[in-house]
Structure 1
Amino acid sequence: MATFAKSTFSAAGYAAFRPSYPDSLYSAVLAFHRGPKRLCLDLGCGPGIVTREMSKHFDRVVGTDPSGPMIKQAKASIEGQKQYANVEFREGGAESTPSIGDGEVDMVVAGQAAHWFDYAKLWPEMKRIVSPKGTIAFWGYKDPVFVNFPEASQIMQHYLYDSQPGKLGSYWSQPGRSYVQDKLRIIQPPQADWEKPERVEYEPASKGKNSGEGTLFMERSLTVGEMKGYLRTFSNFHEWQKNNQDRKASSEGGSGDVIDELFDEAAKTSDWFRDESNMVDIEWGSGLVMTRRE
């Protein structure tokens, strides 16, 4: 998570462009949880999207993140708002939560953060802090798909994962990214301490909205310009940017960066991508993993 922890990282931009989660996802998570709702811990909370939502359902919610800029953004999002009086944000990692007492947490959640965790250290800490029959719900989403533009989706995948010079594939932090690509199937709670996990997945297709397989949670309509902004929140783009500081986005008066190049190629498959005000429907493949403490 080093990219997001850097002082140069724009947490405000991340918060603006990252997708939120639908009520159906929260409903699935809360339906799985059968115990008390005293304290919920949101690991890798980022700008506090999940933390704020869970505060509606728990007496207290604590969001933690190793990124100082993220925690600053999260705190700003609740400042002066009475409805979030039960929310607290703390800077810190998922694998060590010394401010949380033994068996104090009724539910632990993580939205688009679980692929960063060190599970050899995480599971002992979860065993310590989660109450008997308490629950864990981790979810994540992979790459966006233009559900009505299959050729443009293929071009986007090429730019995001090709490791040749000029593309973004070599800048991913691994193995974390591969965990997301595999819908978090790597997450296997120790059987001695946790129930067999329940998994909910979705894999999108390019045959129109909701044409994929599984349970759809993540969808959104963005303008082409907003889509560019969203891709620029990716960790691999930030690493690419460090090594290509001479290439500025055309929206910033530059000659164009790798994201502009990606969309120039997409425009060759459909003129729709030439106008940044045009709307495109997006879906994400996703994985939700839930388990209970034995």
Structure 2
Amino acid sequence: MTSFSDSTFNASLYSDFRPSYPPKLYSILTDYHKGPKNLLVDQGCGPGTASIPFTKLFAHVIGSDPSAGMIDVATKNAAAKEIKNIEFKVSAAEDLSYINPGTADMIVASQAAHWFQHDKWFKECAKTLRPGGTLSFFGYLDHQYMGAPQANKIIEEFSYGKDYLGPYWEPGRQVLRNLFRDIEVPKDIFEDIERIEYIPGKYPNDKHLIGKKMTLAANEQYVRTWSSFHNYNKQHKEVSRVQGGGGDIVDRLFDRLKKTMGWTENKVLEIQWSHIIVLARRI
């Protein structure tokens, strides 16, 4: 079980401060897709970040996640927007038994595939997709402050340094950091496999998909949605200043950013994330 499935994980914070996916991403997926758009399944759907926008593109959408807390937030998010053509289920990605075999037109996993048991998952997806149906898994990682290389060095050290959050990531994080290259799509059941990736500073800027302008204060809340911070905090039991304590590891990170960069909590930052999209078609 990942930390996101932990009953103590703050699913509402995750929903409020994680980046959303831009229209261009959905265009990439639908341009690749062939045939009907009756049923889409979003596995590891979290608070419905990708599931809800897909309701404008498919007749019916099912979002699944092993975390009951995430499903509760996703259900509330959809209800707040009065969306009728979506349902959510508490379920592991490797279990699609609630869908008739061969009836799904597209299965996606947004910011989740690095946690799956891939052999079981691919077989379950192949069983559930119709011939020619689309499978796509995509994710983002390692945000960068645009035009602020010194701040990026600080966040890199904080994220992966042995004295900071480095030891507290689960194994799936490295799969994502390697841009899903470790996940081999089986070519006996899928074809037309494509990869689309972006790393800030290494690709032309017009290729980026996932970015956001946020204040330094909002960026701090985003960092608090990391699974590594959740795991760290379970062991160290530090209390943040906003909760009336003496400060925690995230407070110390942002103290350092403020001192080094001269930033205040209201400083608006342009942020980009590296991303990877994998597309495949059911044979």
| TM range, smaller chain | over 0.9
**Secondary structure at 1:269 match in 2:** helix
1:6 corresponds to: 6
Q: What stretches of structure 1 of length at least 5 have no aligned partner?
A: none
Deviates more, 1:176-185 or 1:36-45: 176-185
SS in 2 for 1:126: helix
Secondary structure, aligned partner of 2:144: strand
Deviation at 1:185, TM superposition (A): 1.8
SS in 2 for 1:195: strand
The answer to whether 1:261 aligns with 2:252 is yes
Uncovered stretches (5+) of structure 2, i.e. residues with no partner:
none
CA shift, 1:25, in A, is 0.6
Say whether 1:290 aligns with 2:282: no
For residues 178 and 10 of structure 1, the distance between their equivalents in structure 2, rounded to whole angstroms, comes to: 23
Equivalent in the alignment of 1:35: 35
Matches of 1:236 and 1:152 in 2, distance apart? 20
Within a 5 Å distance, the mapping from 1:76-225 to structure 2 comes to 76-79=76-79, 81-82=81-82, 84-164=83-163, 167-174=164-171, 176-205=172-201, 212=204, 215-225=207-217
Q: Note if 1:248 corresponds to 2:239.
A: yes
Match of 2:18 in 1: 18
Query: Conserved in 2, the CA contact under 8 Å of 1:64 and 1:71?
Result: yes
Give the secondary-structure state (helix, strand or coil) at the position aligned to 2:191. coil
Q: How many residue pairs were aligned? A: 283
For residues 34 and 178 of structure 1, what CA distance do their matches in structure 2 show? 32
Displacement of 1:81? 4.7
Q: Write the distance in 1 (CA, Å) between the matches of 2:156 and 2:239.
A: 22
Q: Secondary structure at the match of 2:132?
A: strand
Percent identity between matched residues is: 38
Aligned to 1:278: 267
Q: Output one character per residue of 1:18-68: Cα deviation in whole Å (capped at 9) or x when no partner.
A: 000000111101111011111000000000121111111111100000001
Alignment RMSD: 1.5
- Counterparts of 1:227 and 1:16 in 2: how far apart (Å)? 11
Amino acid at match of 1:193: I
TM-score (norm 2): 0.96
Contact between 1:107 and 1:135, CA under 8 Å: does it hold in 2? yes
